[in-house]
Amino acid sequence: MTKHKLGVCVPYRNRELHLQEFVPKVGKYLKEQGIDFQMYFCHQVDDKLFNRGATKNIAAKHAFEDGCDYIVWHDIDMIPEEDCDYSYPENGPRHIATKISQMDYELKYHEYFGGAVLFTKEHVEATNGYSNNYWDWGMEDDDLFWRCHVEGLTRNTYLGPRPLKQKYWRFNGEDSYMKIPFHREMRGLTTGSHTISILTRAFQQPEKNPIFLLGDVNNKYVEYPIFRLPGYDYGISFNNSRAMTLTFWNNFDAHNYMWVKRYDNQWSWVTAVINENTKTAHFYLNGTEVDSKGGFGSPSPLEWEGKLKSYGSNSIYLGMTPSLEEGNPVKYFKGDIAKVFAWKRALSAKEVGAMHLNLPKGDLVLNLDADYTKTTVECYGVEEKEETFTIPNSIIPYRVEGKFRCLPHPDEGIVNGRFVKGETTAANEKRYVLQMQQGEVNYKEDGIKQVQYTLVEEKQLTPWAKMLNITL
């Protein structure tokens, strides 16, 4: 069996108390696991803003030069408690800081890739490590996660056993829409228990409405219509914060809202189940009910009061909100719709979960499938297309359940809905969301291979720990 050596790579600045606790406790934990390791603390000693990505890259360079064949990029305030597996990550980069005391031992958010992540030398070479262009605080871990995704080093899952060959309708975001004229079976569809389910793919329209950014002081949410009953607009939408949403109203004109995070340009099976008897609304993505943990979506089920609002004999619109005037930048949807179904009953969780395999029968009053439709529909400017595609469930890192105690420190993230670090984190957010995720950054030219620094001093703290004093 090959003996591996781990480099523990830690960005460091002004955390002396954390350093005093980290070195002996993490060292003891690794020794008890029988892991051969060396710690590298990269201390940025200049007067520039702290650059966590660059300091992590520098620590990793020294680890590999010293003969380590894999590393863990590790925050200095994370102390392992239970089930923290630091062994060699065979399958791909591995995230182990999944249960953190500061977050009540829950995952911080769905795609969280910080705290402690394990990479082989080959993984680092493929991703080029961290970006060197995130300063002060925020988004460098997200950027690394996205590099892993692009390189095929994430644990992606898909709905269904095989790719789906499917016709669909393309909506241009300018003037195309579909109208489902009212018919007798639709009467009272949304007045009692009902289910709406749509297979769709949405695109942003940044030329009309900027993608929502937390750090933008002028930010605002906007909703693009996928499914609409006009008036008090009932329906399913895609918004500019990259989420699928559900809006419905009661007879007192009280607004109810649910959402689930979803990247644009991804086929998604979105289902809303509203139960008049239990006064609950359930929201599903790809057959799985929305989970509010980690900022992935709103709580589901959602309790509501009163009776559901009546829409009389209104027709249903796809891709357009008829109550908005022409020229309104959110009047039209840009994207694709392949299937639209509606039932006059609340489907069970089991029925929703298996919908991609078996379409539930009984009380089905709207059956619109681009392959084979049984519902009358009027098309205005939509384009019919066909392709073979998969329906991604999630893009998440390879993970093992690791329990960590977070040492006390001031919160540098989001407080009261705003970034603590203000403009610097906002600039990092813009770089990540508007450039990195849009494929406008060549990460092969921004990473560990390009990091520039001066080694001021190397100090041996213990037999297993080094301090690298550097300037950028």
Query: CA–CA separation, 471 vs 45, rounded Å?
Result: 6
CA separation (Å) from 194 to 5, 80, 190, 216, 259? 58, 47, 6, 38, 18
User: Which token pair is 198?
Assistant: 């749509």
Residues 120-138: tens digit of each pLDDT: 999 999 999 999 999 999 9
Is the per-residue pLDDT at 278 higher than 60?
Answer: yes
Residue for token pair 């080093």:
153
Is the per-residue pLDDT at 418 higher than 80?
Answer: no
Is the per-residue pLDDT at 315 higher than 90?
Answer: yes
Residues 174-198: tens digit of each pLDDT: 999 999 999 988 899 999 999 999 9
User: Which token pair is 297?
Assistant: 């979506």
Mean pLDDT on 412-424: 75
> What is the per-residue pLDDT for 2?
58
> What is the per-residue pLDDT for 157?
87
Please compute, for residue 113, the number of CA atoms within 13 A of its CA located in the half-sphere on the CB side: 25
What is the phi-psi region of residue 422: left when phi exceeds 0, alpha when psi lies from -120 to 50, beta otherwise? left
Query: CA–CA separation, 397 vs 358, rounded Å?
Result: 30
Q: Which one-letter amino acid corresponds to residue 101?
A: S
Q: Provide the 8-state DSSP code for 443.
A: G
Kindly indicate the confidence band of residue 1, based on its pLDDT and cuts at 50, 70 and 90: very low
Residues 319-355: tens digit of each pLDDT: 999 999 999 999 999 999 999 999 999 999 999 999 9
Mean pLDDT over the full length of the chain: 93
Query: CA–CA separation, 289 vs 300, rounded Å?
Result: 7
Residues 60-102: tens digit of each pLDDT: 999 999 999 999 999 999 999 999 999 999 889 999 999 999 8
Element (H, E) at 343: strand 334-343
Is the per-residue pLDDT at 450 higher than 60?
Answer: yes
> What is the per-residue pLDDT for 416?
66
Listed residue (176, 100, 121, 96) closest to 7, CA to CA: 121
Is the per-residue pLDDT at 207 higher than 60?
Answer: yes
| Contact (CB, 8 A) for 73 and 96 | no
Concatenated DSSP letters of 225-258: EEEEETTTTEEEEEETTTEEEEEEEBTT--EEEE
Q: In this structure, what is the dihedral angle of CA atoms 116, 122, 124, 126, given to the nearest 10 degrees? A: -130
| Contact (CB, 8 A) for 44 and 51 | yes
Q: Where do the domains of the chain lie, and which CATH numbers do they carry?
A: 5-154+397-471 (3.90.550.10), 161-393 (2.60.120.200)
Is the per-residue pLDDT at 103 higher than 50?
Answer: yes
pTM as predicted: 0.89
> What is the per-residue pLDDT for 433?
93
Bridge partner residues of 399 (DSSP): 95
CA separation (Å) from 417 to 260, 274, 299? 18, 30, 18
> What is the per-residue pLDDT for 110?
81
Using a CB cutoff of 8 Å and minimum separation of 24, what contacts does 360-365 make?
365/185, 365/186, 365/189
User: Which token pair is 288?
Assistant: 């799985």
